[in-house]
Structure 1
Amino acid sequence: MAEKLKPVEVLYCAVCSLPAEYCEFGPDFEKCKPWLIKNAPELYPALVKEESERAAEQLNGLDISSGPGRTEAGSSTSEHKVDEEVKTLPGGKVKKKEKPEVVVEKVVRNKRKCVTIVKGLDMFGIKLSDASKKFGKKFASGASVVKGPTDKEQIDVQGDFMYDIVDFIAETWKNVPGSSIYILEDGKKVPAG
């Protein structure tokens, strides 16, 4: 006689409600990590190892709290300055503070149509909607504010105005220094000035 099959039991994450083995593909993986380490360590052994290493580092850091150049938390004063400049995200990822810069890029569509893309004007306090109107009037073409691939807003100007736009930005907005304007050519950022 054949053995009777049992239904498969699926463990669902309490945070994102996906099956536990699919949490890494969900939108809240960073929030799911503590729950996964506690309830499904066999699915993510790398997470468990990373967490145990982090706990060991914290214990070692607290034990060495005395000595020259050390503060009460166990870190040296030079390490404390690094923490102010670099932001640490959950999961150990490091996010560096972005320096304000304007990047101008030309994209060719359908082998002959060009779109000039301007990114980063908003970092200098410039309203992108006003800037797109000025670009449209100056170059007599369509200009609009759109979301780029990184969900940051950028200005798309229809036509090949890459070098003219650099000059126009420098003339129109005096708070944008020429040293912070870059042109993207062949995937490389080249200073425009």
Structure 2
Amino acid sequence: MAEKPQPVLVLYCQVCGLPAEYCEFGPEFDKCKPWLIQNAPDLYPDLLKAANAKEADKVADQLQSAGISSVDAAAAAGGSSEAKQEEVKRLPGGKIKKKEKQEVVIEKVVRNKRKCITTVKGLELFGVKLSDASKKLGKKFATGASVVKGPNDKEQIDVQGDISYDVVEFITETWPNDFLPK
């Protein structure tokens, strides 16, 4: 004889009321996370890893505020003393200051579903005059090109049209010596 099917036991979230499998699609997933970590860790293993990583970061911050780096702590615990200590500049609020990389960024921005603007950022870091570059780009591709201020108050070149593939070749041919490491 065939066995009777057993009823399925569903675990409902105490915060949002949805089944625990569907909490991530609910409106209050951030509020549900602590409850899910405690009551359903097998459903969301990434949350458990993230919680453990946050605890490790808190411990590292406490050690650093006490003047002990995690490398020093590992060496004191019998770890390798050859581990390299990395200098990191921390700003108020715990933010880490990054060095500005010298790179040229080319982006294609789509507007009105059909029109494109190609944005070229970072040419000034290599000593290229943006006004001259915009004139050359405009002539080469027979489009409008202008120097504008970007979202972070840095100047960039906006070129009308989708020329993102051709502009790379044009820049490297026009200014070949400016992009070589010195």
Query: Alpha-carbon deviation of 1:92?
Result: 2.3
Encode CA deviations 1:37-93: one digit per residue, 9 max, x unaligned: xxxxxxxxxxxxx9xx87x855555xxxxxx9xxxxxxx9943xx22xx43223221
Unaligned 5+ residue runs, structure 1? 1-49, 62-67, 69-75, 178-193
2:145 aligned residue:
143
Encode CA deviations 1:130-154: one digit per residue, 9 max, x unaligned: 2111111111211111122222221
Say yes or no: does 1:176 pair with 2:179: yes
Pick 1 or 2: higher relative contact order, CA cutoff 8 A, min separation 6.
1
How many residues are treated as equivalent by the alignment?
110
Query: Alpha-carbon deviation of 1:101?
Result: 1.0
Q: C-alpha separation between the residues in 2 aligned to 1:60 and 1:153?
A: 40
2:164 aligned residue:
162
Q: 1:114 to 1:57 in 2, by over 3 A?
A: closer
Q: Secondary structure at the match of 2:131?
A: helix
2:106 aligned residue:
104
Q: C-alpha separation between the residues in 2 aligned to 1:60 and 1:87?
A: 14
User: Which protein has the larger Cα radius of gyration, Structure 1 or Structure 2?
Assistant: 2
CA contact (8 A) 1:169 1:176 kept: no
Unaligned 5+ residue runs, structure 2? 1-57, 69-74, 76-81
1:125 aligned residue:
127
Q: 1:90 to 1:114 in 2, by over 3 A?
A: same
**Higher share of residues assigned strand:** 1
Q: 1:60 to 1:139 in 2, by over 3 A?
A: closer
Q: C-alpha separation between the residues in 2 aligned to 1:60 and 1:108?
A: 49
CA contact (8 A) 1:116 1:162 kept: yes
Q: C-alpha separation between the residues in 2 aligned to 1:59 and 1:112?
A: 56
Query: Alpha-carbon deviation of 1:112?
Result: 1.8
One of 152, 158, 171 as aligned partner of 2:154: 152
Say yes or no: does 1:88 pair with 2:90: yes
Same amino acid, percent of matched pairs = 66
TM-score normalized with structure 2 length: 0.51
Query: Alpha-carbon deviation of 1:102?
Result: 1.0
Runs of 4+ in 1 over 6 A off after TM superposition: none
Q: Secondary structure at the match of 2:110?
A: strand
